[in-house]
Each structure stands twice: as structure tokens, then as C-alpha cells.
Amino acid sequence: MDTVQAIKLAFYEVNEAVKALREYVLEQPVVASHFFEIPPVAREGIRNVTTAINVTPVAMPIAVSACTRAYGRFFMANDLSTSYSGLYPGVVQLPAACRDDLAALLLQVEHKKHQFKALITGARKQGQARWELVHEQAFAGELLMTLHVYRQIPALLNDSIIQSVGWTWKRQPVREKMPRGEMTTRIAIQKETTDDPLLEQVFADAITVLNRFAEDRMVYKFYPDVLVPMVNVKRQAPVPANVPAKQMKAGHLPLLICSDAPIRYNLMRSYVPNGGRVRNDGRAAKWRSVYSPLSLYVAD
């Protein structure tokens, strides 16, 4: 079996595992559920800290279906941005009696996700070559959100002291890295295809700067920061020594909880620029700018 066929088979197995999880959850007496619809962004669009984000809360019983469907929403329309779309925050709370069955199903999902990721990352392809392997060979004509397939489904299955769960926005830098030689090749192609003489000079200057570094030196290109949903979990005292009283988890996918205890849910709000509290991690100091017009950095 060649690599492309192996990737397709691994993806099929991920889908089957997610399907089994979804069917199980839909058959259970759900204690509580919320889902938050976030509008997608067009391919050429951008969403950053200056852009308002309208959040539409979805309540039970529709929320349960929306949450479970989100676990398998691996594709998106070709006219949408994979960088700013594909956010599915929410929660499904099931009875504590479900924890063992749910743990087994989640373990199978994560195992299949790991196998899928290992096939792609182990293909000895980087950057553009890896992109072509996935999007032009294995899934031609479809826009697969590869990172969404990789993502672990967040879960708290053995936690009876959760007091509240809420959602917030976190500012997150977006970057890609590749060897200097590959970055130079990409910029050279952009230089040859642009009709703008000013841009042509920008690309030429960038190539000159990058050529000062070794061909295998990793170069980072930063894009505008994005806002991503995060889940804040607060536990009621007394909290065991090995358990955090407060915990933050990624909110790209709906959180699964197994608990019979009542939990207060603080619903996600729309993001208004310069309003409310947005966590800001800033840009790590370990990167040094080498060509600011194209936001190119190297690690010190």
C-alpha cells in the first residue's frame, strides 16, 4: 500500500472511531449541553484582535447534536480560510456512569488520530511537499483541516468537583517554519509572478537577507495573531493536592464531561474589539526579526 492509500485508510478509521463516539453520546441521557456557533472566514479574509466576532449560543437539545457533529467536521468549503475557521467550542455533560465507556471510545479516537498524524509527519516531506501530499493527492478537490483531525477531544471524565465552566478568547500568534532554502524558493516564485514592482523589490530584498543564513536554518514567517476560544474550568474546594483549582483547556472542540453534580456554565460571549478581557500571550522573545516587511524571523 502506498503512502496516499495508507493516509486515506487511516482517515477512514478516524472517521469510524468518531462516528462510534458520536452515536454513543447521542444515546445517553445528557445532563447539560451548550454549543457556540462562530461564523467562518473567507479564504482571503482575516480575523484578528481588531475584528468583532459574533457568537451564537445553541441550547439543548440541538446543542448535543451540534457538539458531536463538530468532532467529525474535518472538511470545509474551498472558499474558507483554514486559519480563521473551524472553531467549534461547546460542552456535553454526561452522567458519571458513562465515564468508562466514554474513556474507551475516546482512547480509540485518539489512537486512530495518532496513526493518521504519524503517517503524514513520517512521510519525510516538509512544507509545500507535505501540503501537496495531503491536499492534492490524498484529498484532492476537498479542503481538509489537517490540524482539526490531529486535535485531541478535550474531556474531564473523572471530575466530580467542577464548580463552573466558562469560555474566553485567547490571542494566539500564527506562524509557519521551513528551512531557509525552501523559504527562499517560495519567495523567488512570488517575485517572478508579481506584477507590482514595489513587491518585486520587497521579495528581492528578502532573498538577499535570507541568503546570509545557512540553507538548513529554520526561518519563521509570522501572520496576524488570531483569537481562539479557551475553556476555563473552576473546581470547588477542597481540591486534592494533585488537581488544579483552576484549569484552562483549548476550546476548538466541545468539552466532554462526566459528572452528576450540577455545574454552572458561563456562556461564551461575542468578541468586541477593545472590550472585555482577552488573554494576550504576546510574541515569544526567542525569535529575532530578520526582514520585517514579510514578518520573517529566525530563532536565537
pLDDT digits (tens, 9 = 90+) for 16-49: 999 999 999 999 999 999 999 998 877 766 666 6
Cα–Cα–Cα angle for 198, 201, 203, rounded to 5 degrees: 110
CA dist 160 and 259 (Å) reads 6
**How high is the pLDDT of residue 99?**
94
With 0-12 / 13-18 / 19 or more C-beta atoms within 10 angstroms meaning exposed / middle / buried, residue 119 is: buried
DSSP string, 20-47: HHHHHHHHS--SEEEEEE----BTT---
pLDDT at 1 over 80: no
Residues 6+ apart with CB under 8 A from 272: 52
Indicate the average pLDDT of the chain. Answer: 87
CA dist 139 and 78 (Å) reads 12
Fold of 3-177+229-280: Replication Terminator Protein (Tus); Chain A, domain 1 (3.50.14)
CA atoms within 13 A on the CB side of 115: 17
**How high is the pLDDT of residue 155?**
95
Residues 6+ apart with CB under 8 A from 275: none
C-alpha R_g of the chain: 22
pLDDT digits (tens, 9 = 90+) for 94-119: 999 999 999 999 999 999 999 999 98
Q: Which three cell numbers stand for residue 230?
A: 479557551
pLDDT at 124 over 70: no
Domain ranges of the chain: 3-177+229-280
pLDDT at 126 over 70: no
- CA–centroid distance for 62 within its chain: 23
Q: Identify whether the C-beta of residue 133 lies closer than 8 Å to the C-beta of residue 241.
A: no
Cell 457538539 found at: 67
Q: Identify whether the C-beta of residue 237 lies closer than 8 Å to the C-beta of residue 218.
A: no
Q: Which three cell numbers stand for residue 144?
A: 481538509
> Would you place residue 281 in the very low, low, confident or very high pLDDT band (cuts 50, 70, 90)?
very low
pLDDT at 278 over 60: no
Predicted model pTM = 0.80
Report the DSSP beta bridge partners of residue 156. Answer: 257
pLDDT digits (tens, 9 = 90+) for 159-175: 778 999 999 988 877 78
Inter-CA distances, 171 with 148, 180, 280, Å: 19, 28, 5
Residues 6+ apart with CB under 8 A from 225: 48, 49, 171, 172, 173, 174
CA atoms within 13 A on the CB side of 18: 23
CA dist 142 and 72 (Å) reads 15
> Would you place residue 280 in the very low, low, confident or very high pLDDT band (cuts 50, 70, 90)?
very low
pLDDT at 78 over 80: no
